[in-house]
Structure 1
């Protein structure tokens, strides 16, 4: 089976509070239209199109690191498609805590940097 590129974007800015979320193994993504108060704790990116819905078993790439997606909350796809917003919790859980959460493998996150690519394949 050929992997489908479901979503892709490049990091354009990193909010000042992102480090606190990363320390808790949470990556908050937002598109470029994020309000300033949300941009403060988000990684902003230029991705604009969700080509196919995210699903359990997809792979999230953050730079050169990859993580298997273990669960997708019921509104995560709508948030990503409409706002470029995604909350990824690298907690190894098979059930999302919140409807907008995506759970991924509990592996160490790479250092997040402007210019890094984020991609989701399924």
Structure 2
């Protein structure tokens, strides 16, 4: 296991980005995120990053699994220091932004998948 956290809640605007058909994503942040960032973030328990995520790894969100296709240059640092990254479901071999982790999978993440108590892990 490289990283494992439990969602504790989300900001009022955090799940709006899931509905973008061209670029579905959510922003992940430690539960102690500043208020202005917490409003747009899925908040989770604080945890260590035991090993940096890499293409070919799996991210599991609840019961759904996704293959990591790219990791932005800033994502390992921000994930380790702030529990922060943008989780983007667009796939692709290049990260959309420096702080993105790109995922590909056959299932869609829904609002119900990102509720308090859901575990997110990378392995």
Q: CA deviation at 1:36?
A: 0.3
How does 1:37-48 map onto structure 2 within 5 Å? 37-48=36-47
Structure 1 position 17 matched with structure 2 position 17: no
Which of structure 1's runs of 4+ aligned residues deviate more than 6 A?
A: none
Q: State the distance in 2 between where 1:29 and 1:35 align.
A: 13
How does 1:1-122 map onto structure 2 within 5 Å? 5-24=1-20, 25-105=24-104, 107-110=107-110, 111=112, 112-121=114-123
Q: CA deviation at 1:35?
A: 0.3
Q: State the distance in 1 between where 2:39 and 2:81 align.
A: 19
Q: Which runs of 5+ in 2 are unaligned?
A: none
**SS of residue matched to 2:3:** strand
Q: State the distance in 2 between where 1:19 and 1:10 align.
A: 16
Q: State the distance in 2 between where 1:113 and 1:99 align.
A: 26
Q: CA deviation at 1:61?
A: 0.5
Q: CA deviation at 1:14?
A: 1.1
**SS of residue matched to 2:91:** coil
Aligned residue pairs, count: 117
